[in-house]
Structures are given as C-alpha cells and as structure tokens.
Structure 1
Amino acid sequence: MVFDNGERRVAVIIEDDADIRNLLEAVLTQAGFETIPTSNGLDGIAAVREHYPIVTTLDVSMPGIDGFETARRIRAFSPTYLVMLTARDDEIDTLQGLDAGADDYMTKPFRPRELRARIEAMLRRPRQPMTTDAVVLAVDAAPAPAPETAPSELVTAGEANAEASASLGPPIPSEESGTVDGWYSHNGLRLNPSERIVQLDGAPLDLTRTEFDLLGALLESQRKVRSKNDLALLLRGEAYASAYPVIEADRRAVEVHMGNLRRKLGDSTATPRWLETVRGVGYRLAAHTGVGN
C-alpha cells in the first residue's frame, strides 16, 4: 500500500502471541498498511531498521528483551509511531512505556476500531524525518524562508496541524509574551509552529513530536489553563477527538510527556519559569519573569 505521493504505508508488528499477531495483521491491513509481523524484540528492531515503518505496534511481555527495552532501542534511531500493547494495565507500566518512547499505550484486549482510530489520529500529526525522533531545530533566531513548493507530505501535515489547533482559538494578546513574525515567545523560550523550531535562551532545544505539540499549545494559550483532557484531545487531532472517550491512561500520558518536557527545559515545579501546574485542572504558562522575551 502506498500514499498518493508514492510513499509506502508500512506497519511493523512486534508480538509473540500468534493469535494477537494475526489479529493485528488483519486490522492494519484493512486500514491500508503493508504489515511486517515479527515475534520478538530483536527481530522487531531489525524490521524497523529495514522497512522504515510509519507505525510500529509493540507488545510488552516478550521472550528475550521486553517491550520497554525494545522501545528504547527503536526510539534511538527511528521516529516511527510506537503503540505499546500489553495485558498489564498497572499505572506504572503505562508510565514506563511512555517514558521509553511510546506515543500511545493500550491494554489487551483492545478494540480494533479504537486501535485504528488512535493510529489515524497519530498520522495526522506532523512527522519528522526518519533519521531521528527529535524535532528539526535551527540555531538562527530568524526562521528559514519557506520553499516555493513543499512536498505533499509536509503540506498534508501542516494542514492537519492547523486543523488540530483550530479549536484553540487565536493567541491571547499579552504585553509580556506572545507572537512576533510567527514565533511564540515567553521568558526566553521561543517556538515557531510552522517551522517546527524551538529555542531556549537562544540555543536549540531537542523535543519529540508530542512535547513540541504540548509546548506549542501552552504557548498559544498563554496564561489560559489547559486541562489534561483538553491536551489529550489535542494530541489526537480534531477528526478523532470524539472517536473514543478520554480515560485515565490518556491523562497519565499527558503527565508523563509534560514531566519529560520539564526535564528538558530544566524547569522547577516549585518555582516554574515556563510550565505551571494548576492542581486538579491542568497546565498553563508560568508568569512572566522579565527574562528573555
């Protein structure tokens, strides 16, 4: 199966249970993927290296290396969308999976329709080149000029990102922080959503797709509080926001991604410079400090 632009639509399946592996093959084939099934972590890693999949489903409990270690090794070289599947629904397993680099986490037995909806929602979010999971960065303060014609995949990704953020409304005007020439700025942190570039005190910052999207949403909303439910729906994309209800695992996923984002920023939960937790509700930008823009 290929996209209109000729790109292969490949999914790697890493699952030791033959029945579940066959079910995943059927579900993903019906969704238009060319599937590459594997039964263990090492074979799965090799398949990801060889086939450059858009999506990889990954079991947690497998012989040899487990799903967490498999995810970490895959994430070291590939930006494939990782969906972890496990029979264990403990909160610690969800957190470990997301911390290992998974984009989403589902427990077995899963509903095929929900799995397809989650995958399609991920595909609507902008993808990065297959060489790294990090957002493409630039050191120069000014954004690079846009090419006269963009590849069809990037046009589609940009349109999808615009649709996903349309429900947020325009940025809230502020004398302390806001947008200038397409850049959001706050306390020395700068982000350009169209160029997918982020800088901290003038230096490039290495973020994953999800971290970038969450940070962009908070910068756009300024001091307006964004709930965990709201942010979980944002990550799905507008078309799939109501496809299935937000559950505790979705909210925990947002917490993990926000925690990772805080670590990369070097932010303090007690005296935040950028990300402020509103207990029982969600997150918003911290107050202006007078540092940077």
Structure 2
Amino acid sequence: MSISQGEDPHTSTKTAQCTVTCMYQAHIGGHWRTVTALWTKNMMNHSLNICVDSIKPNHRQNCKIDLKPWQFWGKKSYKTFEVDGLQIDVYWDLRSAKFSGSPEPCSDFYVALICDEEVVLLIGDMTKKVYKRTKSQPRLADTLLFFKKEHVFGKKSFTTRAKLDKRREDYEIVVESSTFGVKEPEMSISIDGIVLIHVKNLQWKFRGNETVLVNKQPIEVLWDVHAWLFLNPGSSHGSFIFKPDQPKDKENTSQDEIKENGNSSVSKDHSTYIRSETSQCCFFLYAWKFE
C-alpha cells in the first residue's frame, strides 16, 4: 500500500518551500465552485494564491497576494478579478496574523471573497471586521472545506494543525520519529497531546493504517514513510492521510479517488459527491525529513 501522491510542483528540497493547500466549495454566481487557497512560504517569499473554478471545464481565475515581511502596507488591502463575468472582490487583513510555523495563519486574520454584496468565502476568525469593512451580507449557503494538504520540513518532529470535525476549529497533530541511531526505528502520532499511534519496528511497518477515536469521532490514519528509511534524506517525503470515517451505508472515499494536485481543479461531479457524502475534511500531510 502506498499513499504517496508524488512531489508537489510548488515544493523543492533546495528552497525548503512550505505550502498549505486548502480546497473549499463555495456557492458563487448560482453554482457550487471549487475555491483553492495556496499558502506558500520560503526564505524569500510569503504569498497566498486564490483560484476560483469557472463553470467551463478546466478554466479558473486566480488572485495572488504577496505577504513579504517588508511589505506591511500590503497586509491589509483588496483586489478584484472576474470569473464567468462575475466580479469577485478579495479583502484581507493579515497585519496582526499569528502563525505557528505554517505559512497559513492560525488566528487574528481574515481573507474574504465578496460577490454580489455577499461574503461567499471567509477564511480566518475576524468575522465582525469583515462585515463592517465590506458592508456585505453573510453568505446564505455555508462553504465547505473538504480537502487540505500541507508540506512541512523537520528532523524528528513535524507539527501541524487541521480541522477534523465540525465541532472544532483545529486539532494539533504531531508526528515524532526516530529513524537513525542504535535504536530500532519508531514513530508516534499524537493529536492534541495524546499519543494515538505508536509504531515500533518501523523498518517493517513503514506503510500502514489505523483507525483512532478523536472526540468520539473515528479518524482513519494512513502512513507511508518508506522514503525516510530507504531513500537519501531530503529526496522525498513521508506521507500521511487523516480521513474521518464515513457511515458504513455510504461509499467511502478511497485514497485512489482523491487525485489531488495543487494546480488541478476538482471536477464539479466530484465536488457534488463530496458535499453530499460528507461534511468532513480529508487532510494530507507531507513530511520532508532532514537529518
């Protein structure tokens, strides 16, 4: 069993570029559309690229926001672009944004998409300020975060945050590993400080899956860390999937069905399937190990 989806074109071991890709369904102009937010950060750049799918196949429009530290003036602004003749205004305020090692902020910020005087997508926690600034109406249909992917870099520990159910904003996920030295390779995965998976003899169990309970919610965890053990350090990544279990009477979304790519759109039919079958988010973590 292999869950590696290949190397992300936005990620390079030479530049150690951390990326977070979030895919949402938002009701814009009478259609459910996939909106992709790509947060990217390396030593020279920090940016957010927002792409909105057209109703035309294989068409999308994007808006890029540069968040370089020396461009403080650009951390609160707005841009306008068009999709299928619709004007979409993007407002953001990241002046006080807090980060926890990820290119995506964890609090005190907002990024809002406005169409026809309605907030069709709101990312962040400064809700009141969005409506006050834009004088727009709240979205009539809830948006849905259905896919998230993150590339992280480290030596032994990899920490991230992800939304795994509707009741919580984020859970802290930590992957700890020991793959070199006199001891047998091993790995642990904890969520909110509780170790839920501990794998010993990792050289024999470098691929596997296990279902754990998080707030009474079953989460299937799949891992593939073959690259950590048998390839040159930094040449590839360990792969992890955190997938909320589906009801048994519904068809599960298998890993082969999630043909994710940071530059590719999810089809309208697949987006409809995701919305009808689950309101949970499938999270991919790609951990690049350097010794």
Q: Which has the higher helix share?
A: 1
TM range (shorter): under 0.3
Quick check: which one's strand share is greater? 2
Q: Which has the higher contact order (CA 8 A, sep 6+)?
A: 2
TM-score normalised to the size of structure 1? 0.24
